[in-house]
Amino acid sequence: MICYFSGTGNSMWVAQTVAARFGDNRLTDMADAVVSGSSLNFSLSEGERLGFVFPVHSWGIPWIVRRFIKKMSVSNYDNQLIYCILTCGDDCGLTNRMLLKLFRRKGWLCRHIYSVQMPNTYVVFPGFDTDPAELEQKKTTEAVGTLDKIMAAIESDSPIDCYLQKGQQFLKSRIIYPLFCRFAMSSKPFRTTDKCIGCGVCVKNCPTHNIRLENGHPVWANNCTQCLSCLHRCPQTAIEYGKQSVGKGRYYYGKRKDSQQTSHKSN
C-alpha cells in the first residue's frame, strides 16, 4: 500500500513510478482521505509493504500528512517493511526525525527514509522561485536514477544513504517549520487577476477541496495546506498569492511556464 500526497505532481510521479515497479495497486490519497472523512483503518497482508510519499514543506511534514499518519491505524501489522520517499527542492531538514518519532509512537519500525530532489515549487517566500529551465531538466532527469536506486534498496530491504540534508537543520526544522505551520497556512492572500476565466481547474486540483467557484471566480476556504497546486496549475496564470508570487515562475510535473514579468490587475 502506498499513501501519497501531491500538489504539483512531483510526489505523484514518484508514487506512480513506485507502484508500477512494485506492482502495488493500493494507492491512498492522504489529503482526500483526511478531508473527506474516509476511514483511516487499513489492513496489511503478510509481506505487504507500507509506503509514504509526499513533499517536504518548509523542512518538515505537511500538516495534512502528519494528521493522516496520526489518525491512521493498521491492523495485521507484524513488522512489515515501511518506507518513506520525500520529494524536495533543496533540503529535507529534519523531516526524517519527525517521521521516526511519529512511527515510534505507533509502534512501527521504519528503516527506509529517502529523498528525491525535484524542481522547486514554493514561490511565496521572498527570494524563492521556480528553478531555471536547465536546472529543472537536470533535476527531473537525475531523479529517475535516484528513484531507481531507492526502489532497489527497498526491494532488497538494504537501506542506503539517500537523504538530502544541508546545514542549519535546527534552524530550519525546529524554528522555521513550526512558524510556517502556525502562521503560513492562511489562504487569505490568494487572489485572481483579470486573466481568470472561471474554468474551475483550481477547484478540481485542490488536494484539500479548499476552493469553490463563486460568481465564476475561485474562493478559498480555511483548509489550505500551502501546496500551491491552484497557483501553479492555473492554465491562465491567473492566481497570485498576494504580491509574493508576482513575476515568479509556475511549474507542475512535466510542464512549466516562464516567470510573468508584468503585473496583474486583481479582480
- For residue range 185-213, what is the model confidence (pLDDT) as tens digits? 999 999 999 999 999 999 999 999 999 99
| Same domain? 111 vs 205 | no
Cα 101 to the center of its chain, rounded Å: 20
Q: Which of 183, 60, 193 is closest to 124 using CA atoms?
A: 183
Domain that holds residue 223: 185-257
- For residue range 222-241, what is the model confidence (pLDDT) as tens digits? 999 999 999 999 999 999 99
Domain boundary among 181, 209, 230: 181
- For residue range 59-99, what is the model confidence (pLDDT) as tens digits? 999 999 999 999 999 999 999 999 999 999 999 999 999 99
Predicted TM-score of the model (pTM): 0.94
Domain boundary among 116, 149, 181: 181
Domain count, the chain: 2
- From CA 252, how far away is CA 239, in angstroms rounded? 14
CATH classification of the domain holding 151: 3.40.50
Domain boundary among 161, 181, 201: 181
- For residue range 150-176, what is the model confidence (pLDDT) as tens digits? 999 999 999 999 999 999 999 999 999
Q: Please indicate, yes or no, if residue 267 is contained in any of the structural domains.
A: no
- From CA 80, how far away is CA 68, in angstroms rounded? 19
| Same domain? 176 vs 221 | no
- For residue range 123-156, what is the model confidence (pLDDT) as tens digits? 998 889 999 999 999 999 999 999 999 999 999 9
Cα within 13 Å of Cα(124), Cβ side: 22
Q: Which of 33, 69, 78, 75 is closest to 51 using CA atoms?
A: 69
Is pLDDT of 262 > 50? no
- From CA 33, how far away is CA 1, in angstroms rounded? 14
